[in-house]
DNA sequence: TCTGGGGTCCTAGGACCC
DNA sequence: TCTGGGGTCCTAGGACCC
């Protein structure tokens, strides 16, 4: 019997800031872009729970967050503490959390002499899956889950939410069920009942567009979705329909992947402080990005790339990309710089940009890495 | 009050080859 | 005359995740 757990740190970035500055305790905090007095660009990465009371959450535009904070302040409520630096340290804290989780796991012995390493998969700075099958029962798995939570609080003074189920899908949905500081166990015989009333949106992979398509079929909950045949789902959602059909039933056999597969692309993009159409302003951005990319490639252990993708986002948010695949792989910074600038020029005149729309973001990405 | 940055995967048309 | 079928690569765009 498979027993899989998913751990998700609660309001991770904001909680790290809060624990490091006790005077922030209980204050609304938003970690993310610099609000620049209401003129900043970008979004909130993490809002703590008091800030969520103001309607601020992940992906809230930073200007809106600023506005909501101002509104609260005028009502005599504490203003939001905006924090836009310190992203480096979150990685360090993350590593400590992951090692705490790891220390509670057991591998499945391959044989008498060779021990298998525990199965744990880190999916982002603040999330991981791990295999608790060795516990033998959901009861025992629950005990391990609560020990891990306790250990994270004692050692790192942070809270985590854990979901446990018969596979990654159910574990993930379970960890989202009761936050913060939750522990939700969904044994196999309770999977269908647990999923039934939840919105289809809770299924990873169902975003706003898929939700809308399903709504047109009168599907809101997972129970609704289960009334559709696999054929129907395929006709509406394409290839993904079959997968969705299984997910609606809580079925998932995807493995806990211990070793992260090598990256397929490396890129960098940046929203400008102000929209621009000036070559003098824009070109240094793409040139710097091209240069940075060669550095990142080296760090990741790649020597060459073969495809270059240039991305441009206009002021009206229309986003276009141009790509170029070279006949031979190269690792040359100068070659990349040359191609990127060549690819960029058309955007500055009438060819690609007849309306002369200003540009708000530029980005460069390299693919086919070796 | 306009909407980040890092990615992955899928689709669909066209070129090209056998 | 009214036009194969399959495979692979390239390009562009879009949905989605954290």
Active-site residues of A, by number, are: 127
Measured in angstroms, what separates residue A366's CA from nucleotide B17's C1'? 28
CB A249 within 8 A of CB A226: yes
List protein-proximal bases of chain B (any atom < 7 A from a CB): 1-12
State residue A352's pLDDT score. 75
Measured in angstroms, what separates residue A81's CA from nucleotide B3's C1'? 22
pLDDT, one tens digit for every residue, chain A (370 residues): 999 999 999 999 999 999 999 999 999 999 999 999 999 999 999 999 999 999 999 999 999 999 999 999 999 999 999 999 888 899 999 999 999 999 999 987 778 787 788 999 999 999 999 999 999 999 999 999 999 999 999 999 999 999 999 999 999 999 999 999 999 999 999 999 999 999 999 999 999 999 999 999 999 999 999 999 999 999 999 889 999 999 999 999 999 999 999 999 999 999 999 999 999 999 999 999 999 999 999 999 999 999 999 999 999 999 999 999 999 999 999 999 999 999 999 988 777 777 789 999 999 999 999 9
Bridge partners, residue A6, by sequence:
A129, A163
Distance in angstroms (rounded) separating the CA atoms of residues A273 and A281: 11
Distance in angstroms (rounded) separating the CA atoms of residues A350 and A260: 44
- 């567009």: which residue's tokens? A209
Please give, chain by chain, protein residues whose CB is below 7 Å from any atom of strand C.
A 59, 123-127, 172, 203-211, 306-307, 319-325, 368
Other beta carbons within 10 angstroms of residue A136's beta carbon come to: 11
Note the pLDDT tens digit of each residue in A195-212: 999 999 999 999 999 999
**Sheet of A127-131: strands edge to edge?**
A120-124, A127-131, A4-9, A160-165, A183-185
> Is the CB of A266 less than 7 A from some atom of nucleic acid strand B?
yes
List protein-proximal bases of chain C (any atom < 7 A from a CB): 9-18
Cβ within 7 Å of strand B: which of A 223-262? 238-240
Q: Specify burial of residue A99 (Cβ count, 10 A radius: 0-12, 13-18, 19+).
A: exposed
State residue A350's pLDDT score. 72
Domains for chain A: give ranges and CATH numbers: 4-13+88-194 (3.30.70.270), 14-85 (3.40.1170.60), 196-247 (1.10.150.20), 265-367 (3.30.1490.100)
Measured in angstroms, what separates residue A367's CA from nucleotide B14's C1'? 21
């Amino acid at each position: 019997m498979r027993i899989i757990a998913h751990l998700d740190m609660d309001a991770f970035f904001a909680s790290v800031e809060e624990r490091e500055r006790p005077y922030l305790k209980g204050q609304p905090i938003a970690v993310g872009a610099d609000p620049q007095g209401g003129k900043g660009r970008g979004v909130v990465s993490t809002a703590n729970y008091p800030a969520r009371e103001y309607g601020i959450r992940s992906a809230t535009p930073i200007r809106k967050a600023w506005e909501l904070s101002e509104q609260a302040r005028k009502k005599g409520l504490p203003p939001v503490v905006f924090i836009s630096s310190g992203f480096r340290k979150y990685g360090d804290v993350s590593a400590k959390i992951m090692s705490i989780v790891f220390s509670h796991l057991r591998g499945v012995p391959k044989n008498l002499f060779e021990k298998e390493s525990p199965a744990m998969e880190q999916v982002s700075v603040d999330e991981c899956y791990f295999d608790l099958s060795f516990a033998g029962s959901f009861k025992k798995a629950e005990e391990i889950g609560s020990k891990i939570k306790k250990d994270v609080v004692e050692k790192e003074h942070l809270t985590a939410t854990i979901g446990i189920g018969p596979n990654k899908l159910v574990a993930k949905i379970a960890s989202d069920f009761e936050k913060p500081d939750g522990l939700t166990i969904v044994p196999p015989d309770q999977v269908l009942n647990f999923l039934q009333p939840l919105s289809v949106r809770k299924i990873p992979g169902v975003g706003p567009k898929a939700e809308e398509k399903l709504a047109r079929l009168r599907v809101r909950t997972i129970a609704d979705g289960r009334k559709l045949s696999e054929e129907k789902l395929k006709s509406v959602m394409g290839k993904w329909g079959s997968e969705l059909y299984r997910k609606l039933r809580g079925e998932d056999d995807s493995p806990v992947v211990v070793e992260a597969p090598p990256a397929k692309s490396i890129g960098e993009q940046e929203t400008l402080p102000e929209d621009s159409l000036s070559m003098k302003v824009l070109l240094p951005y793409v040139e710097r990005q091209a240069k940075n990319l060669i550095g990142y490639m080296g760090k990741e252990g790649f020597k060459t790339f073969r495809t270059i993708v240039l991305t441009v986002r206009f002021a009206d948010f229309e986003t276009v990309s141009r790509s170029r695949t070279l006949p031979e792989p190269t690792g040359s910074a100068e070659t990349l710089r040359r191609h990127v600038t060549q690819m960029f020029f058309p955007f500055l005149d009438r060819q690609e940009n007849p309306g002369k729309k200003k540009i708000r973001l530029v980005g460069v990405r390299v693919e086919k890495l070796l």
